[in-house]
A and B are shown apart, each in its own frame.
Chain A
Amino acid sequence: MQGTVESQGTAIAVDHAHEHPDFRVLGLLVFLISESLMFGGLFAAYLLLRGMNEQWPPEGTEVELLVPTINTLILISSSFVIHYGDVAIKKDDVRGMRKWYWLTAAMGAVFLGGQVYEYLTLGYGLRTNVFANCFYVMTGFHGLHVFIGILLILGVIWRSRRPGHYSAHRHTGVTMAEIYWHFVDVIWIILFTLLYILTRF
């Protein structure tokens, strides 16, 4: 009807099925730009504080390296693990996907466990000094994102119980969980460099 309005010059009418296209992956990618700028704000605040304080980190609040390095290796490997899950679902192998996603969730949980262990053994708390403030807020905020990532992965595993829910042609949810997990990983690499490695020099 509208297609024939004279002034519009839209003379030809084409009918489309009333379907809604699926842009969720693109939406997630755009959203992650925003998320990375939130971390960007924290990084900027950290770097400014670092530049303004002569001794960084102040004596007594040095970071531990062993546990976080193991943690980092686990998290980075988990990005490869989750990718195998994505490869599996594209071959219609739901069981394979479930296996790799379980493994990723477990590795994420180990990472969080390692972080809690680190918090308990560091010997200083959130309020100790401004470095400790940054340390706990930034790693805590990242940990929250890891936690959300684990929930997403578990959600994918939960949904994959239904036969045919995910397949080689329908795997948007699987892909989105993977993209989010990679994002969390990339942010950790920056965080690890800023908070752990660069404080050693």
Chain B
Amino acid sequence: MAQAQLPLDTPLSLPEHPKAWKWYDYFTFNVDHKVIGIQYLVTAFIFYLIGGLMAVAMRTELATADSDFLDPNLYNAFLTNHGTIMIFLWVVPAAIGGFGNYLVPLMIGARDMAFPRLNALAFWLNPPAGALLLASFLFGGAQAGWTSYPPLSTITATTAQSMWILAIVLVGTSSILGSVNFIVTIWKMKVPSMRWNQLPLFCWAMLATSLLALVSTPVLAAGLILLLFDINFGTSFYKPDAGGNVVIYQHLFWFYSHPAVYLMILPIFGIMSEVIPVHARKPIFGYQAIAYSSLAICCVGLFVWVHHMFTSGTPPWMRMFFTISTLIVAVPTGVKIFSWVATLWGGKIRLNSAMLFAIGLLSMFVLGGLSGVTLGTAPVDIHVHDTYYVVAHFHYVLFGGSVFGLYAGIYHWFPKMTGRLLDERLGILHFVLTFIGTNLTFLPMHELGLKGMPRRVAMYDPQFEPVNLICTIGAFVLAFSIIPFLINIIWSWNRGKVAGDNPWGGLSLEWATSSPPPIENWEVLPVVTKGPYDYGIERRQESTDEDRDEEE
């Protein structure tokens, strides 16, 4: 390796750190990974609120069969931007950029990420991307859905569509730069005393996520560049009448966008693997199985994209191959689910907000995963393709999965980030409202889909009206569930109960520093002598640990 020749005494010149960050430091090009993590989380949450309001507007339109609450073009623009914002500006940046940046260096005992300035650059690509998306409404808003299939995307609101493409390329660049940073950080910057099998599972998940983002994101960029040329420069890559082919776009798009599903859920799996053992007060069941299943999902996830294209005229052998590979992804996912359930089994469970969201995630994700298995098999997929069944499935996975996981992570690590505890009563209220809202909104959609209600339409057959009304009520419950959460965050950040360094008694390294951590993370670098999940087995282990240390 080339850098092995470099002497280690050539530090990079980074700006000197002050003693503590002021509030305005969070609005600057700050290179501290903790500041960047919080910048990501807060920015992403603002976009979540914006995307959520779009969803509420759409559900209001759908409350009755022929409502004219939204103009059809505006409905399409909301539909496109709701999906785009929730995926590219909320879940991915919050899970990877937010929690990843904040936690990974702390968990591996490093002072910062491998490339701090690159890290800040990666974050600052996000706000302009969001601004571009929102500004596209001035030009009619991109209307072709978050998948932006040509030819629709080449004939509707083309300026807005180009802005959409540029926004995605910006967040994609951010994601690639972030991945490079995570891979090198986890690979090279663990404290010397930490062995690979002592790496916290969140870091394993981030490693798998980063590898996946690294290889899949640029392919999307290639596909979008060709689309940009088709829209603006008169080329015909995706125009069948001039020798092009629309299915090529679908291949390039889904080669990224199916793995993007794992980009959104793998970090959440990592959060689950941290939250569950801490609040169940038990060692995690099957550490290696969870770590390797992340890598397995990362690898198999790259070979399943065609299941989005079963109705695009794919040949039968392809349907067969991609049905099987899709079903195989369920295996490592199931391994994780069983490991978490086994960890819960017989644990001294603390049913606080973080744990409630984690258990809520378990139940909902199993449902979403099962409907995913049905969708992954070509025959069922052909029947329910582009119906509300698909909408129900991915909202169970993305809302019941990713968003619940992000909430669990926020309740779990808020004391570390701010030094104060969140209020439990508000937290439980938030959980109950979210859980009811999610199921009320998305469970009936399975029925709508099986009965054939198409997705992406503003008007529909009146026979679907009663069920749609239930979904809309659910959406309003979900919207209101944010209120106790927001109050909780703002109030607790200023006045919450002081948490102390380690309120949950966690064993992974981030709990070994003060809350909030000092700017350099550690006065002295920590030394790992134990696994991150060895709860309740200190006494048994002590003697053997000493033996091992002596041997080494």
Q: Which residue, of B14, B177, B223, B243, has the highest number of chain A Cβ atoms within 10 A?
A: B243
Give which listed residue, A25, A41, A129, A169, contacts B219 with CB less than 8 A. Answer: A41
- Chain A residues within CB distance 8 Å of chain B: 1-3, 5, 7-27, 29-31, 33-35, 37-42, 44-45, 48-49, 52-53, 58, 126-127, 129-131, 133-134, 137, 141, 169-170, 172, 175, 179
Give which listed residue, B112, B215, B226, contacts A33 with CB less than 8 A. Answer: B215
Q: List 7 A-B contacts (CB under 8 A).
A: A5-B501, A10-B528, A19-B11, A31-B180, A37-B215, A49-B243, A130-B237
Contact B111 A127 (CB under 8 A): no
Whole-angstrom CA separation of A123 from B65 in the bound complex? 57
Is B252 located at the chain interface by the 8 A CB criterion? yes
Contact A41 B234 (CB under 8 A): no
What are the residues of chain A within 8 A of B245 when measuring CB–CB? 48-49, 52
What are the residues of chain B within 8 A of A16 when measuring CB–CB? 524-525
Contact B179 A130 (CB under 8 A): no
Contact A34 B524 (CB under 8 A): no
7 more A-B residue pairs beyond the given contacts A27-B118, A27-B181, A49-B243, with a C-beta to C-beta distance below 8 A: A9-B529, A10-B512, A18-B520, A21-B114, A35-B218, A37-B216, A133-B237
What are the residues of chain A within 8 A of B114 when measuring CB–CB? 21, 23, 27
Mask for B481-523, Cβ within 8 A of A = 1, else 0? 0000000000000000000011001010101111000001011
Whole-angstrom CA separation of A57 from B514 in the bound complex? 65
Contact A13 B524 (CB under 8 A): yes
Contact B244 A130 (CB under 8 A): yes
Give which listed residue, A18, A49, A179, contacts B237 with CB less than 8 A. Answer: A49
Question: Could you count the A-B residue pairs with CB atoms below 8 Å apart for me: how many are there?
Answer: 199
**What is the minimal beta-carbon distance from B64 to any residue of chain A, in angstroms?**
44
Please judge, given known A-B contacts A1-B523, A15-B524, A27-B180, whether A38 and B3 are in contact too, CB under 8 Å.
no
Is B258 located at the chain interface by the 8 A CB criterion? no
Contact A38 B219 (CB under 8 A): yes
Is B2 located at the chain interface by the 8 A CB criterion? yes
> Which of B52-60, B159-167, B183-191, B371-379 participates in binding chain A?
B183-191
Nearest B residue (CB) for A29: B2
Contact B234 A126 (CB under 8 A): yes
Nearest B residue (CB) for A32: B180
What are the residues of chain B within 8 A of A130 when measuring CB–CB? 235-237, 242-244
Whole-angstrom CA separation of A127 from B236 in the bound complex? 8
**What is the minimal beta-carbon distance from A165 to any residue of chain B, in angstroms?**
12
Mask for B4-21, Cβ within 8 A of A = 1, else 0? 001111111010000000
What are the residues of chain A within 8 A of B183 when measuring CB–CB? 30
**What is the minimal beta-carbon distance from A147 to any residue of chain B, in angstroms?**
16
What are the residues of chain A within 8 A of B545 when measuring CB–CB? 9
Contact B527 A12 (CB under 8 A): yes
Nearest A residue (CB) for B513: A2
Contact A23 B251 (CB under 8 A): no
What are the residues of chain B within 8 A of A49 when measuring CB–CB? 237, 243-245, 248
Give which listed residue, B180, B184, B243, contacts A129 with CB less than 8 A. Answer: B243
Nearest B residue (CB) for A131: B243
Whole-angstrom CA separation of A84 from B44 in the bound complex? 48
Whole-angstrom CA separation of A122 from B126 in the bound complex? 41
What are the residues of chain B within 8 A of A127 when measuring CB–CB? 233-236
Whole-angstrom CA separation of A131 from B502 in the bound complex? 62
Q: Which residue, of B12, B118, B220, has the highest number of chain A Cβ atoms within 10 A?
A: B12
Contact A33 B214 (CB under 8 A): yes
Contact B502 A7 (CB under 8 A): yes
Please judge, given known A-B contacts A2-B524, A30-B183, whether A21 and B189 are in contact too, CB under 8 Å.
yes
What are the residues of chain B within 8 A of A35 when measuring CB–CB? 218
Give which listed residue, A23, A34, A38, contacts B184 with CB less than 8 A. Answer: A23
Please judge, given known A-B contacts A8-B507, A34-B179, A169-B10, whether A21 and B525 are in contact too, CB under 8 Å.
no
Whole-angstrom CA separation of A23 from B512 in the bound complex? 26
Is B222 located at the chain interface by the 8 A CB criterion? yes
Is B229 located at the chain interface by the 8 A CB criterion? yes
What are the residues of chain B within 8 A of A5 when measuring CB–CB? 501-502, 511-512
Please judge, given known A-B contacts A3-B525, A5-B502, A137-B226, whether A126 and B235 are in contact too, CB under 8 Å.
yes
What are the residues of chain A within 8 A of B527 when measuring CB–CB? 3, 10-14
Closest 7 CB pairs of A and B: A41-B222, A38-B218, A19-B11, A130-B243, A41-B219, A133-B235, A9-B530
Mask for B257-281, Cβ within 8 A of A = 1, else 0? 0000000000000000000000000
Is B538 located at the chain interface by the 8 A CB criterion? yes
Contact B526 A25 (CB under 8 A): no
Contact A20 B112 (CB under 8 A): yes
Nearest A residue (CB) for B233: A126
What are the residues of chain B within 8 A of A26 when measuring CB–CB? 1-3, 184, 187-188
Q: Which residue, of B189, B218, B233, B242, has the highest number of chain A Cβ atoms within 10 A?
A: B218
**What is the minimal beta-carbon distance from A20 to any residue of chain B, in angstroms?**
5
Whole-angstrom CA separation of A15 from B373 in the bound complex? 51
**What is the minimal beta-carbon distance from B154 to any residue of chain A, in angstroms?**
14
What are the residues of chain B within 8 A of A39 when measuring CB–CB? 222
What are the residues of chain B within 8 A of A30 when measuring CB–CB? 179-180, 183-184, 214
Is B108 located at the chain interface by the 8 A CB criterion? no
**What is the minimal beta-carbon distance from A180 to any residue of chain B, in angstroms?**
13
Mask for B238-251, Cβ within 8 A of A = 1, else 0? 00001111001001
Nearest B residue (CB) for A18: B520
Contact B252 A27 (CB under 8 A): no
Give which listed residue, B1, B222, B511, B524, contacts A42 with CB less than 8 A. Answer: B222
**What is the minimal beta-carbon distance from A77 to any residue of chain B, in angstroms?**
22
Give which listed residue, A2, A41, A170, contacts B514 with CB less than 8 A. Answer: A2
What are the residues of chain A within 8 A of B8 when measuring CB–CB? 21
Whole-angstrom CA separation of A170 from B9 in the bound complex? 10
Contact A2 B512 (CB under 8 A): yes
Contact A23 B3 (CB under 8 A): yes
Is B367 located at the chain interface by the 8 A CB criterion? no
Q: Which residue, of A1, A53, A129, A170, has the highest number of chain B Cβ atoms within 10 A?
A: A1
Contact B218 A7 (CB under 8 A): no
